[in-house]
Amino acid sequence: MTQDTSEENNRIERSNEAKDDHRYVCRMTGREDGLIGKYNIWLCRQSFRELAPTIGFKKYD
Q: What local confidence, expressed as pLDDT, does residue 59 receive?
A: 87
Using DSSP's 3-state secondary structure scheme, residue 3 falls into: helix
The structural domains of the chain, with segments of one domain joined by +, span 3-51
What is the reported pTM?
0.62
Per-residue pLDDT reduced to its tens digit, 6-51? 666 666 666 666 555 678 999 999 999 999 999 999 999 999 999 9
Q: What local confidence, expressed as pLDDT, does residue 61 receive?
A: 81
Closest CA to 5 of 25, 24, 28: 28
d(CA 15, CA 2): 20
For domain 3-51, give the CATH number: 4.10.830
